Structure 1
Amino acid sequence: MGIKVQHPRCFFDIAINNQPAGRVVFELFSDVCPKTCENFHCLCTGEKGTGKSTQKPLHYKSCLFHRVVKDFMVQGGDFSEGNGRGGESIYGGFFEDESFAVKHNKEFLLSMANRGKDTNGSQFFITTKPTPHLDGQHVVFGQVISGQEVRRLLVTRSGRKIKGRGPRCYGTPSRPRSRDRFRRSETPPHWRQEM
């Protein structure tokens, strides 16, 4: 008889065009990726203060989903720039890839967005279908366990805005706030094939 691991959970309350869309609840695989999960959890709660390199609050509050690609993923977590070029980890700057044990084999997985090997910061993405070509390049550290319909709504509302732009939406563990402008984000080379 094995011992069942109790994974920590956290959530985002999502708004689209200033209208509440619902709550997305994440289960974090802290037994596989404890450092990555701690980073995400602390960015959800905002408990770590100000970033060393960004000098911005280490918090996902009012953070945009700056990139939504239909039949691929929804990306967010750039709390400093809001366009995919910013953010940082709670450890200061980037941290190393922790584990590639969990594969990108289904939708609703929570994975770290990065700029290459060992460049994990605050940005993450949620898969909208299996993406095995990302295995060994991006660390899967959790999954959506509630609120799948909200994630689907994000993709449905933004299906026409694929190249680096997302809907007016954000994830936050507290009160919603909108952003009026969107800036183009950089697309990692190995993702361009999906667009």
Structure 2
Amino acid sequence: MNQIRAEFDARTIVVYQAYGPAIARPAIAARRFVPPFSRTRMTWIKPSFLWLMERSNWGQKSGQEHVLAVRISRAGWEEALAAAVLTSHDPRVYRDHDDWRARFDAAAVHVQWDPERSLRGAGLNHNSIQVGLSRHVIERYVDTWTVDITDLTPLVRKIHEHLKAGREPRAKALLPPERPYPLSPALARTIGASA
């Protein structure tokens, strides 16, 4: 099952990214991405907190020491999804492999589904979305869609300490409140989300 689960309200959705201090600290201070953040290479955003924790090893991987919560507009999020092409061929979405390949090569936004993660990092039976924004849409992400950036690194460290000490209920209580994100049928079809 492919399902977007996220922290969101009527106007915004939270996505997560992890960076080293050179990019993260200026972004945290400005509450938006500023140099040396690159506007010329693809950046991946993820609404699943635990998926990013698995990917960044709880903010311990080199270059991923700072975990950022990037609050963006839902209008921007859905604009990105509407422009997206899956990173692999899905016969439910594309006519054939050639149709997918042509769309993929021209796409400004890529979508990939990967197994969602448990608190302990185990793969779950539903998939979580990653959205890759190419240089063609990063300006909109930075200048138009981003509402706020907050540093979740202290929270990440606290949750991880609870986990390492065997206090799983305490760790779980601190997780961001993610729930299924509503999609129109057309948008769900575009990104291969489950009905």
Give TM-score scaled by structure 1 length. 0.27
Tell me: higher relative CO, structure 1 or 2? Use CA pairs within 8 A at least 6 residues apart: 2
Give TM-score scaled by structure 2 length. 0.27
Q: Which has the larger radius of gyration?
A: 2
Structure with the higher helix share, 1 or 2: 2
